[in-house]
């Protein structure tokens, strides 16, 4: 930050830390790093949920298919709209 933008009271550790954090956030925001990380985290969580569902189905061959399907559906039902919203947010932010 240039000296003409700093006030006389802008001194000390916390002010310097705030300036550095602001510069770091400007770097992250200018390159959409936060959006990329959120999209990759959602993808990783989707892979984990899919892996868990597959392991659950394989671990319970004795359960009726409708019961297993209901359990897997109960897990995927809240996850799918959240994933869709993150993907929508990601692509809308890329077109701005």
pLDDT tens for each residue of 17-73: 888 999 999 999 888 898 899 999 999 999 999 999 999 999 999 999 999 999 999
- Asked whether the whole model's pTM tops 0.75, one would answer no
Q: How much is the pLDDT for 23?
A: 92
Within a 10 A sphere around the Cβ of 38, how many other Cβ atoms? 16
Query: Residues 2, 45: one domain?
Result: no
Cβ–Cβ under 8 Å, residues 74 and 53? no
Shared domain check, 93 and 55: yes
Same domain, 27 and 49: no
Domain count, the chain: 2
Same domain, 93 and 83: yes
List, as own/partner pairs, every contact residues 67-75 make where C-beta atoms lie below 8 angstroms and the sequence separation is at least 24, other chains included: 75/49
Q: What is the pLDDT of residue 3?
A: 57
- Domain holding 6, by residue range, is 1-31
């Amino acid at each position: 930050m240039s000296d003409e933008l700093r006030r006389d009271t802008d001194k000390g550790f916390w002010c310097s830390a705030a300036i550095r954090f602001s510069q770091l956030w400007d770097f992250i925001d200018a390159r959409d790093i936060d959006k990329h990380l959120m999209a990759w985290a959602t993808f990783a969580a989707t892979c984990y949920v899919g892996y868990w569902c597959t392991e659950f189905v394989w671990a319970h061959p004795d359960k009726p298919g409708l019961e297993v399907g209901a359990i897997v559906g109960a897990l995927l039902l809240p996850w799918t709209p959240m994933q869709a919203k993150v993907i929508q947010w990601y692509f809308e932010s890329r077109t701005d």
